[in-house]
Amino acid sequence: MGLSKKLAEYITSVTYEELPKEVIAFTKLCILDYFGSAIAGADKPPIQMIHSLIQEMGGEEQATLLTGGRSSVLNASLVNGAASHIMELDDIHKGSVIHAATVVVPAALAIAEWKNCSGKDLITAVAVGYEICYRIGEAVTPSHYYYWHNTATCGTFGSAAAAAKLLELNEEQTIHALGSAGTQAAGLWQFIEDGAMSKQLHPGKAAMNGVISALLAEKGFTGATQILEGSRGFFRAMSEEFDESKITSGLGKVFKITENSFKVHASCRHTHPAMDLMIDLTKERTFQLEEIDHIKVGAYQAAINITDNAHPTTQYGSKFSLQFCTALALLKGKGGLDQFTEETLWDEEIRALMKKVTVGVDPVVEGVYPEKWGTKVELTLRSEEKLVLQTEYPKGDPENPVTSNELVDKFMILANRLPIENREFFANSILELDLIERINELFTGDKLSIV
C-alpha cells in the first residue's frame, strides 16, 4: 500500500470522539497561539502588501481576513497564513522543523467558516493537519532543511489534509489532494541572505496551495498517487536522505501535535536555547560590557546554517542572528517583541558585545539534534572566570513547557491592538472551541476590528 493511501485512510477515518482529551485541549492552545501571532502580524508592511493585492484581485466574501474585511477562502488562507509568521512567535516542532499553525490553521479556519463547520470539526482538522505535515517533515529532516523551508514544503501537505478533512473528501479524493499538494510544495531558504519578504509568502502559499489541492480533488482533479515515495516524487527530489518509516510509525496511535513547542522570544527558534541561558544568567547577576572577554556559543549545524549572522542590518535580520540574540538577551534580560527594534538593532553596547560572540558547532549538541534543540555557552570574563551553561530544551518545548495561562497572557499581549473585551472573547471562545456550533460565531460583531 502506498504512503498516500495510508495517510488518506488515516485522514478520512479520524473522528473528534477518538481524540484524547489532552489532544483536544492542546489543539485549542495551538489555535489560540496562532491567533495571537496572526493578529499581531496583520498590520506589518509585507502583510499589507499581500492584503492590497488580494483586494485588487477580488474574491467572493467567503472567509474573514485578519487584515480586515472578507474575501475568498483562497485569499483568506494566503493572507492569514502570511500574517501569522512575520512576528517570529509562531509554534514550532523540533523533529520536523515546521511552524504548523501558520499553514494548517488558516487553511482550516477559512474552510470551516465558509462551510459552517463546528468547533469540533476545526479541532479535528487541525490535529490531523499537524499530524500529516509533522510526519512528512520528520521523514526528510535534516537534509531537506538545508535548502528547503520545511514550513512551506511539508506544511503544504498539512494544509491539504486539514482542508480535505473539513470538506469530507473520501479516501481516493484525499490521495489526489495530497498529490496536488506535493507537486506545489516549494519554499527556498535563499531569502535569508537578503532578509527578503519571501518568508511570509511561504506559509501563506502553503496554506492556499493545500486548500487548492483539496478543492480540486473534490471536483475530481487527480494528483500523483505516490507523490512522496515515487521515483520522481517528494522524497527523492527534495532530500539527500529520508526515512519512510517515520510516516507510518505509530500513525493513529499517537498524536504528534502534543510534541509542539511554543515560542517565548520573538526570534528564530534556533536562537532560543542561547537566549534562555543568557536570560537565566541575568537573573543571578548583572554584567558590564567591559568585564566580558568573550562568549562562545556551541550549537547544532542547522542553527549555524540559519542564524550565523555577525552583522544584521535589519530588524528582521536581527531575529536570525545568533550573535545579536545572545548579546541582546545578556544585556537586556529578555527577548520579546519590544526588544527587536531599530533602536536595539544599532545599540552600541549590543553591537560591541556581538563582536565578542563566536558561534560554532558543538559535537555533543549536534549529536542529539533534532530530538533536542540545545546549546552550550561558555562566557569568559576578563577576570578569567569562566561560566559554562548548557540546555537541551528551550522554554516552550514539551520537556520545558509553558502553561496554558502563559499562552493566554502571550495572546493578550500580541493581540493588544484589539479592545480588551474582544481579546477576552477570543481567548475564552478558543479555549471552549468544542462548544461552538459554527465557526462563524468567532467573527460576528466585528470582533477583529482594530482600534
Three cell numbers, residue 370:
533534532
Residue 396 included in any domain: no
Residue 451 included in any domain: no
> 344 and 419: one domain?
no
Distance CA 56, CA 51 (A): 9
> 175 and 235: one domain?
yes
Name the pTM for this structure: 0.94
Residue 51 included in any domain: yes
DSSP state of 148: B
Three cell numbers, residue 415:
493581540
Quick one: pLDDT at residue 450?
Answer: 54
H/E segment holding residue 107: helix 101-114
Angle CA(188)–CA(194)–CA(200) in degrees, nearest 5? Answer: 55
Quick one: pLDDT at residue 445?
Answer: 66
> 107 and 147: one domain?
yes
Alpha carbons within 13 angstroms on the beta-carbon side of residue 450 total 15
Question: Is the dihedral angle over the CA atoms 17, 434, 63, 37 positive or is it negative?
Answer: negative
Residue 58 included in any domain: yes
Integer angstrom CA distances of residue 203 from 120, 152, 264, 300, 450: 24, 5, 20, 25, 23
> 165 and 181: one domain?
yes
β-pair partners for 295: 357, 379
Residue 404 included in any domain: no
> 259 and 273: one domain?
no
Neighbour order of strands in the sheet with 292-299: 357-361, 292-299, 375-381, 386-391
Residue 407 included in any domain: no
Terminal C-alpha separation, the chain: 54
Residue 377 included in any domain: yes
DSSP string, 268-281: -GGGHHHHHHHHHH
Residue 450's SS3 state is: coil
H/E segment holding residue 377: strand 375-381
Residue 175 included in any domain: yes
> 220 and 358: one domain?
no
H/E segment holding residue 136: helix 119-140
Provide block-wise average pLDDT over 10 residues at a time, the chain (451 residues).
Answer: 94 97 98 97 96 96 95 98 95 96 98 98 98 98 95 98 98 98 97 90 98 98 98 97 96 96 95 96 90 96 95 92 97 91 96 97 95 95 94 95 96 94 94 96 73 41
Number of domains in the chain: 2
Count of C-beta atoms within a 10 Å radius of residue 196:
13
> 124 and 100: one domain?
yes
> 276 and 255: one domain?
no
Residues 6+ positions from 36 with CB-CB distance below 8 Å:
89, 410, 411, 413, 414, 415
Quick one: pLDDT at residue 451?
Answer: 41
> 128 and 229: one domain?
yes
CATH of the domain at 298: 3.30.1330.120
Structural domain range at position 366: 269-391
Residue 93's SS3 state is: strand
> 286 and 324: one domain?
yes
Three cell numbers, residue 375:
546549546
> 311 and 330: one domain?
yes
Distance CA 39, CA 427 (A): 13
Three cell numbers, residue 233:
516524487
Distance CA 154, CA 29 (A): 22
> 244 and 330: one domain?
no
Distance CA 156, CA 179 (A): 11
Identify how many contiguous H helices and E strands the chain contains and give both numbers: 20, 6
> Which pairing describes strands 375-381 and 386-391: parallel, antiparallel, or unpaired?
antiparallel
Count of C-beta atoms within a 10 Å radius of residue 291:
11
